[in-house]
Each structure stands twice: as structure tokens, then as C-alpha cells.
A and B are shown apart, each in its own frame.
Chain A
Amino acid sequence: MSLSIALMTMDHRQNHLESLRAGLSLLVYPIQMAVELPDTVSGWFRESLASRRQLQEENAGLRTQLLMLKAQRQKLEALEIENIRLRELLDSSFEVGEKILVAELLSVNLDPYKHQIVINKGDLDRIYPGQPLLDADGVMGQVVHVGPYTSTAVLITDTSHAIPVQVNRNGLRTIALGSGTINRLELPYLPNNSDIRAGDLLITSGLGGRFPQGYPVARVTAIQQDPGKTFAQVVATPMAKLDRSREVLLVWPGDFDITVPAATPTANQQAGADIQIVPEDAAGTDEASE
């Protein structure tokens, strides 16, 4: 009894038990694999029993999609370089390139009252706690526990999670809190007169140093301005398919410089803002984003 209370306290206060949890997660790995097995087998059957025509159609579809994405990417590269050049003129630093790894969700259900997922990459793939997690449409969450082969990530909608965001339209910065409902984020810190509308896209602001800048997070769905209250009640829907995605992307922010030479140390001040941008090597530091 007292042992478990001690254990819970230590786990809640973090730090000490990470390695124990990582070691013990090896113990439950076979169970997770067993649960995953039917899914793996059915996936294998689906792939190996698919007809030739189906595969050809899929192939053609993917080819078209790839072509379109490539065309878009060409433009993006030009824009990226232009952006960097302009920022250099303003004497501010901006990191664009990131290293990305694709991971897959394990189909295990966790505690239904916590929004967590298990992914099939772990310490051996150099995953670290606090690492941002994306899917094809936006930010999903961040890694919290890392085991040798698997890691647990908390989604942005978990009640204990908060993510610094900005409105894409005008750069308005705020924080999006998880609500405990899978399709709902709350923005409780916006004053009543702030410039935000339904339909606004929220992107990561990069402040806090945990999430890289510029990834879509959510779209504002409803705003309620009560004149009697100081803050507006803003609700947003996550862009990422939090409860449907199978493939997720793990990002190493700013690990991997593609273009710009390193900015001078004095150039960390963002033009026009009095907030210090966290230096590029913040990937490993423990800057709180919650």
C-alpha cells in the first residue's frame, strides 16, 4: 500500500521513474504485440490478396498524388528560401528544416479517460520525451514515455496538455488547452476584443521551444464573447485526425539545417516582438510547453 503510494508520488513528480517505466514497458511489450497481431495479420492478408487491378488503380492514384505534391513542394522550396532571405534582412533567425521519422500506432486501447497513444518506435530510434508528434494534417501531441521499442504519447486534447499557438491570419499568439474531448481544444486566454474569427487556422508558434513553428494545430469553430467576462470563450477543432490516424510523424525540430548558415547569437530577437525565441538547439532541453 505505502509502496504503491510512494511509487505514484514518484511517478507523478516525474524524472526518477522514467527509466523504471522504460524497463518495465519491455515486460508488457509481448502483450501489446499479441493485441496487435490480428491487425497485422489482416493487413497482411489484405495486401497479399488484393487483386492486380486494385493495386494498379491504387498505384496510379498515388502517382498522381505524388506528382501534385512534388509540384507544390517546388513552390514551397522557393518560398522557404525567400522567407529565410527576408528574415535575414530583418536580422532574425528562422529554422525550417526538420528531421522526420514515420511511426505507426499500436492498436491498443489505453485508459479511456486519458488521451494517449502508443507508437511502435522507441529509445532505439532515438525518440526522446517531449518530442512533437504530427500526422498528415497537423500536430497530434508529444511523446511522454519512451520504452526500448514503444513509446507513449499524449494528444493535444488531453486535459493536461497545452500548446502555444498563433493565429495564421494575423500572428495573434495564445495557448490552446486540451479539453478531454477528442475533437475540441479551448483557447481561454484571449481577451474579448481580440481579433479572432471562426474559421481561423491556428498554427504552432514555436514559443516554448518544444513544437517546431508553423505546423497547423486546429481551426477555430466557435467564439463566445460575453461582455461580463474578461476573456472570450474560443473553441477549436484539431486539424490532425487524432482518433483515426494510423501513421504518425515524429519530428526532430531544428536538428538538421538545410540551408541557412547559423545565425549570429545576437540575432535571436524576433523583429517587432519582445519575446525571446528559444535557440535552435532547444530540442533536447526541458523547456516547458505545458
Chain B
Amino acid sequence: MKYRYLTPLFLAALPLSGLAQQVIYPIDRATMVEGGKFDFKVEFDQEIQPEQATILINGKDFKQVLNGKVEFIAREDGKPVSALWVRDSHIKHAGDYRVTVSLNGKQDEVTWNIYATPKTRKAHNVILFIGDGLSVAHRTGARILSKGVTEGKANGKLAIDSLPHMGFIGTSSTDSIATDSANTMSAYMTGHKSAVNALGVYASRSENNFNHPKQETLAELLKRRTKMSIGIVSDAEIQDATPAAVVSHTRRRAEKAAITEMLFSVNPDVILGGGSAYFLPQSTLGSKRKDDKNFIDIFRQDGYELVTNATELKSLEMKKNRKLLGLFHTGNMNSVLDRRFLSNEETKKFPDQPDLTDMTKTALDILSKNPEGFFLVVESALIDKAAHSLDWERSMASTIMLDQSVEIAKKFAESHPDTLILVTGDHTHGISIIGTVDDEKAGEDMREKVGVYQYAGWPNYQDNNADGYPDKWDVSKRLAVFFASFPDHYETFRPKLNKQFVPAVKNESNQYVANEEYKTVAGAMQRIGNLPRNTDTGVHAVDDMVIQAQGPGSEQIHGYMENSDLFKVIVNALAVK
């Protein structure tokens, strides 16, 4: 009797019982727009002759359904395994497509859904805001810091607070429940999920980072099928994962020199951010390229106007048909907290960097000149970079900056109501506000000065100049913010005014140990990490991401969505044909 219960277990185990499989890309449950480009790849688990395998799509030979040249590789990367490619392929008509690969009596299959976009275009413009690592606590913190709260009610709302449509986004990868900024933004930009570190490709078996099944990006699709303008704005290096995902195809996001070339080949109309080091030829001091290509010259020769600081950016005369390249730092730009509020050494190298709000405004001014509409991505990148470092003040200041940029977009939408605004992040962090830290509270050490429940009360930040940021960050009664994942570090319970927090440093055993620089900060307390000892900083959370939207097409944002679903929301709103 009891063995009957085991039967389903045996059946379930069969597909995994060591029988090697043929792997098909795009993967099972992929959704693609009609006519959207993709690379088809089948990886066989052995070396075969092409005629040994039968590949059918909805019962027909695959060559009748897929457009493009068939490429058969007998020994992939010199190994005794074969592969078949159809690159730059597409499917003309919407519907469900069942792909079966049969070899030596074994069959593997995947099903794709190809969808058609609506007949009528709802949105003329789309603005996608990404707060890298934006979590719920960032929003709450930004609201408390920026607006204040009295008797339990917020004294004011953030710009993002009144966006009418809201949903939750699942951020998991093809290879893990966890995720990074590469494959998450890639999912938004291509409609396909992928693996950690991958941009615009499925992470296949290939050894070459640039030889993986490509997924067409939204910017490529819009450039190919419409006359819309494209803008990319970020305060990270413009080759960093989020902005890179708009244009790139690489298994490894670290290929920043190649990403610069891909950026050029897609030719976005507005590019604003950091990362000039990858534009400079290796002979120029400060270059991070390993070749002689000068992308500053290449972009200029292609008609781009170059601006390199905030003054130049703000004094641009707005004329028609301009292509703009704004590079404001050799690496990542500096955080708004360092740039605008702390008189420290951080911004000495590049003292005149624009704010994300300035960049958003200029991008909108230029892109809105195109009567065909535009797609603009604006990233507040340093929310994440500071959250990794357990530096919540810098992280939340960058959230306020994101919100003020959204405010500019909302103002733009007042005069351009055919604009879809989407605000989300790419993944979350384990960050939480749990109360306050009060220097005046009785207690022997800083831990006793943490106020929780009714003892938390209200922090005493003030914004007398009404710029939306606290006038002072090291007030006597601060927010108590803690992270869920961390390496060994010293918790100081105070903002790091000189530079971004460096929680841990690597020792000779490849383990990250608490950075002793903070040991002597008054009241600092050592916290033993909860991550593997080879992890340098806090990590991304697997928690859902909140997405909000307003404007035509925003009603598609609701309930639980996969991050890859956002692509469909955008192409549907634009009715890309």
C-alpha cells in the first residue's frame, strides 16, 4: 500500500535521472513579440550528424517557421558536443509554438508564446525609471527624510506616491532565485529572463562571452521598427549593467569596452552618465580600454555633441535633431549626498557633475523634439551601490533624487499626457527601517540608544530650505536602518560623512573581515556577518520589487508580474509593429 505513494516520486525523478538533454533556446515559456529578433540555438548532449536530429516547430520542419541561416557546429568549442544555430531569427505570426528536438529516440521540447501588439498606439513616449536596488524601505525612508511625518501621517507625498497603477515584480533568474542588475534589466529590455551577469543573451554553453543566443533589446527593436528616439541616463558608468542592458549582448556584464561599442552601434540619441574611461584609447591616461579606439571621437564624428560637466549640460541650446553624449566622470558619478551636501573629498576629482534631475530634464528637452516619440531610461544607480556598502544614508539620498527626477517626468506628462511613466527597480535589498537612534537616550552603548515601538518616536531631521533633502544628516535622533545581509563589520549607528562606508576588507585567507577603520568610532559595535566569508558586501534580496506607473498603457501594471513581462507592457503601449 505505502509503495503506491512512491510511484509519483519515481515518475517525477525520471526526467532528471542522469539522462542528458538537448537544451533549446529561447527556453520554455519564453514570450516574444511578433517579428522580434532572437537567436535560436539547440545544444546537443553529444557529437552528432545534423540529419540525426529532428527539430520541429508545431509539427513542421523548423526551417519553415524560423527565418534565417542555419548554422551547424559539429564540435562546439572543440568539445564532443554539437550545436545548431539560427541567428537573428524571428517568427512572423502570433501564437503558441511548440518546439521539439528528437535525437536517438529521446525528445525534448519547449513552448514559446508569440504575441501581437494592439492595433492602436496608446503611448507616444515611454519613460522608465530604475532605482537600482530600490526596496520598500528606500521609499519609506525617502518620504520620512524628505517630507516628515506627524502623528502617524506623512507630512507630504513623494512624486512616486501618487502613481496610480502598481504591481509586484518577480526578479528571479534562469539560473537562480537570486539575481543581479544585469539579467534583471535585461529582462525588462528584452522580454526574456536570463542568468546572473548576462545582458541580452541566454547563458548557453558557449565559452565566448559574445557567442550566446541573443535576445533583441527594446532599443534595437525601436530603432529597427520605429522612428522613435532613445535616451539613456544613469549616474553610474554608462556601461554599468542597467544602462548597458538597453543595448548590449554579452554573457558577462564586465565586458565594458565591448559594451561601449554596442552602445555606439545602437546609437541612442541621448547618452548621459559616467564611464568615460571606456571611451578613451589606451594611450590616454585614465583609459580602461585595451585598444586604440577613441569612442569620444567616434561618437563626435557621428554627430554627437559632447558635454563633460553640469555647466555645459545646463547651457546647451535646445535645437532640433541633436544627438548628445554627456560624460561626467571616468567611472561612476558621485552620490548626491557627497556632491550636494557633504563637504568631503569625494567629488574633488570631478567637482561639476550634474544631478540626475538635470540629466532627466535635458534628456526630455532633447528627446521630446522628435514628433515620433521617444523611449527614455533614467537610472538612479547609486541606491544599490550604497546599499551594498550598508550605507543607508547615501542609498536613501539617491532615492530622493530618483523621486525628484520622477517629479520632472510627471510635470512633462502634464503637457504630454500621451507619456507612459514606469517607476521601479531592478532587484531589492534586505533593508529595513525599525525605529530611531537617539544620542540623548540613556544607555551605556549605542545599541541601547536604538528606540523601537513607542520608544522610537520621531527623528529630528529638518528641511528648512525645502529642497526635499534633510538640511543635516547627522542629527541627534536619526532613523535606525538595518540590513538583512552583511559581512563582518563595525556598526557605528551614524552616517559616514567623509566617504561611503567600507564595511569589510579582504584578508590573506580570502575572507572579508570587519574594516578596522571604523573600530574607533565612538560607540561602534562589531557585527559578525551572516554571509559566506568570501562575500565582500551586503547582497541583493530575492524579495519582490514594486512597480508603479501612470499614463497610457499603465493599466497593464497590476498584481504579480515577471520582470520579463514589462517588455510586453511597453511594446503594447507603443503598439510596436
- A and B co-occur in one complex: no
Question: Chain A interface (Cβ within 8 Å of chain B)?
Answer: none
Question: Chain B interface (Cβ within 8 Å of chain A)?
Answer: none
